[in-house]
Amino acid sequence: MKIFNDLQLAKELIRFPTVTPVDAGIMKFLEKKLKSIGFKTKILEFKEGNSKSVKNIYARFGTISPNFCYAGHVDVVPPGKIKNWSSNPFKPTIKNGRLIGRGASDMKSSVASFIAAVSDFVSKNKKFRGSISLLITGDEEGIAINGTKKVVEYLKRKKEKINFCLVGEPTNPSRMGEMIKIGRRGSITGYLSIFGKMGHVAYSHKAVNPSSCIVDILKNLKQLKLDNGSKNFQPSNLEVTKISIDNSADNVIPRDAYATFNIRFNDRHSSNKLKKKINIYLRKICKKYKCKFKIEYMISGESFITKPNKTTYMIKNVIKKNTKVNTKLSTSGGTSDARFIRKISPCLEFGMVGASMHQIDENIKVRDLKTLTKIHKEILENYFS
């Protein structure tokens, strides 16, 4: 049975220009690799509404429980101006012991590492009792509606049981082994429209200026203290990300004003409670300014935590053994596909160092990749022992 080289495989994956939601042939490539080591595979393509279709893959080695799943994504963010890179972002290069390329950190190297570890593990443990599966999506960096979310729904319909899942996000801030994510804050985005009455600036009494209203609303929302944090989570926070007024004249009071804000919230809140709280503010302030409003919300996920169990501590110990770092269990950071997977399985996140993710010259240390592969292999050995 073939044993894959993690570095070679990482390079091969980086060569695919898989800017969300472009597949560029990567799922077929992965399917071929996984079949060669005995996996049964299924490429799952989904499309919702006017969104672009996305290809995903679910692969499984073995048929019995327990089923240990590895989840990840092979889509990447745009590289920006290629001339700003030291080398082409889709032509991986190694400089000073670092692998450079878009997706090196987030998270093609992590996918390559796990596949390399699995190929090594199954070649030496042909009769292990259990199954190993992979859930790889091409829609994590984008709107995330045709990726892991849909695959999880598919697995539920098929009654596919996953006993534990490890998501390969780049969880380490600056050093391999620093951090395991055991949960995430929730995320809700508000798209706010304020409607006033257009008029001449010299006759403001005949108009209703929506800018005054929206500034007051955003000031109040920003000053709103949501909480002081909780046992497992940092404080919730609201950030205004966009403000716009489409007005080409300097002597005209506009009719409309728009803003977008995002709230990252902990387990002291739910998205529904936050929406009700915000709507009270909107009604009160709009009444004061005699404006009307419309608010639309996009909920990316609720806060969640995977209560640490023996598998959590086993993984923590394996990481510490291989990195000599006392790994922290954390809920910091943004969202990930763990928010979907946790509905069918307990899950943790651990992967590469994320210091350069989404940046120009995104990179990882080659020795960190080798360490991660060793960690993955030992996790499998311990899980199925």
> Looking at 244, 277, 301, which one is the last position of a domain?
301
Instruction: Give percent of the chain above pLDDT 90.
Output: 97
Please give the helix or strand (H or E) that residue 370 lies within, else none. Answer: helix 366-383
Domain CATH number, residue 73: 3.40.630.10
Whole-number average pLDDT of the chain: 96
- Residue 2, pLDDT > 90, answer no
- The residue type found at 44 is L
Instruction: Single out the catalytic residue among 12, 120, 139, 140.
Output: 140
Residues 89 and 104 placed together within one structural domain of the fold: yes
CA 64, CA 339: separation in Å to the nearest integer? 26
Q: Are 72 and 57 in contact (CB under 8 A)?
A: no
- Residue 150, pLDDT > 90, answer yes
The answer to whether the bond into 308 is cis (omega within 30° of 0) is no
- The residue type found at 43 is I
HSE, CB side, 13 Å, CA atoms: give it for residue 286.
19
Query: With bands split at pLDDT 50, 70 and 90, how would you rate the model's confidence at 143?
Result: confident
Residues 319-369 have pLDDT tens digits of 999 999 999 999 998 889 999 999 999 999 999 999 999 999 999 999 999
- Cα–Cα distances (Å) from 291 to 213, 215, 369, 385, in that order, read 7, 13, 56, 65
- Cα–Cα distances (Å) from 282 to 57, 255, 349, in that order, read 43, 17, 37
Look at residue 307 and give its three-state secondary structure.
coil
> Looking at 249, 283, 301, which one is the last position of a domain?
301
CA 129, CA 122: separation in Å to the nearest integer? 11
**Domains: count for the chain:** 2
Residues 307 and 367 placed together within one structural domain of the fold: yes
Q: How far apart are the first and last CA of the chain?
A: 21
The answer to whether the bond into 21 is cis (omega within 30° of 0) is yes
In a domain, 1, yes or no: no
Residues 192 and 270 placed together within one structural domain of the fold: yes
Interacting residues of 179 by C-beta distance below 8 A, sequence separation 6+? 171, 172, 173, 327, 328, 330, 332, 350
Lowest mean pLDDT among 141-150, 314-323, 359-368: 141-150
Interacting residues of 378 by C-beta distance below 8 A, sequence separation 6+? 318, 321, 322
Residues 23 and 76 placed together within one structural domain of the fold: yes
Residues 227-242 have pLDDT tens digits of 999 999 999 999 999 9
**Comparing C-alpha atoms, which of 77, 96, 76, 78 is closest to residue 86?**
96
At residue 329, the pLDDT reads 97
Look at residue 362 and give its three-state secondary structure.
coil
In a domain, 43, yes or no: yes
Residues 56 and 155 placed together within one structural domain of the fold: yes
In a domain, 20, yes or no: yes
Look at residue 200 and give its three-state secondary structure.
strand
Residues 216-273 have pLDDT tens digits of 999 999 999 899 999 999 999 999 999 999 999 999 999 999 999 999 999 999 999 9
CA 102, CA 90: separation in Å to the nearest integer? 6
- Residue 1, pLDDT > 80, answer no
Once rounded to an integer, what is the mean pLDDT over residues 301-305? 93
Residues facing residue 189 across a β-bridge: 262, 298
Residues facing residue 200 across a β-bridge: 252
Q: Are 266 and 227 in contact (CB under 8 A)?
A: yes
Domain CATH number, residue 277: 3.30.70.360
- Residue 181, pLDDT > 80, answer yes
Once rounded to an integer, what is the mean pLDDT over residues 40-69? 97
Residues 87 and 203 placed together within one structural domain of the fold: no
Structure tokens at 48: 């919702």
Residue ranges in 125-179 assigned as alpha helix (H): 148-157
Residues 23 and 108 placed together within one structural domain of the fold: yes
Instruction: Single out the catalytic residue among 6, 23, 75, 139.
Output: 75
At residue 334, the pLDDT reads 84
At residue 68, the pLDDT reads 98
Task: Find the farthest-apart pair of alpha carbons in the chain and give their distance in angstroms, rounded.
Answer: 84
Residues 117 and 247 placed together within one structural domain of the fold: no
- Residue 192, pLDDT > 90, answer yes
> Looking at 269, 301, 333, which one is the last position of a domain?
301
Residues 282 and 311 placed together within one structural domain of the fold: no
Once rounded to an integer, what is the mean pLDDT over residues 75-93? 97
Q: Which domain holds residue 341?
A: 6-184+303-383
At residue 20, the pLDDT reads 96
Phi-psi region of 159 (alpha: psi -120 to 50; beta: other; left: phi over 0): left
Query: With bands split at pLDDT 50, 70 and 90, how would you rate the model's confidence at 379?
Result: very high
75 is catalytic: yes
- The residue type found at 168 is G
In a domain, 272, yes or no: yes
Interacting residues of 366 by C-beta distance below 8 A, sequence separation 6+? 7, 94, 97, 98, 99
CA 328, CA 334: separation in Å to the nearest integer? 17
The answer to whether the bond into 357 is cis (omega within 30° of 0) is no
140 is catalytic: yes
At residue 333, the pLDDT reads 86
Residues 370 and 248 placed together within one structural domain of the fold: no
In a domain, 110, yes or no: yes
Residues 289 and 348 placed together within one structural domain of the fold: no
Q: Where are the beta strands (DSSP E) in 47-143?
A: 54-61, 67-73, 93-95, 98-100, 131-137
Residues 148 and 248 placed together within one structural domain of the fold: no
In a domain, 167, yes or no: yes
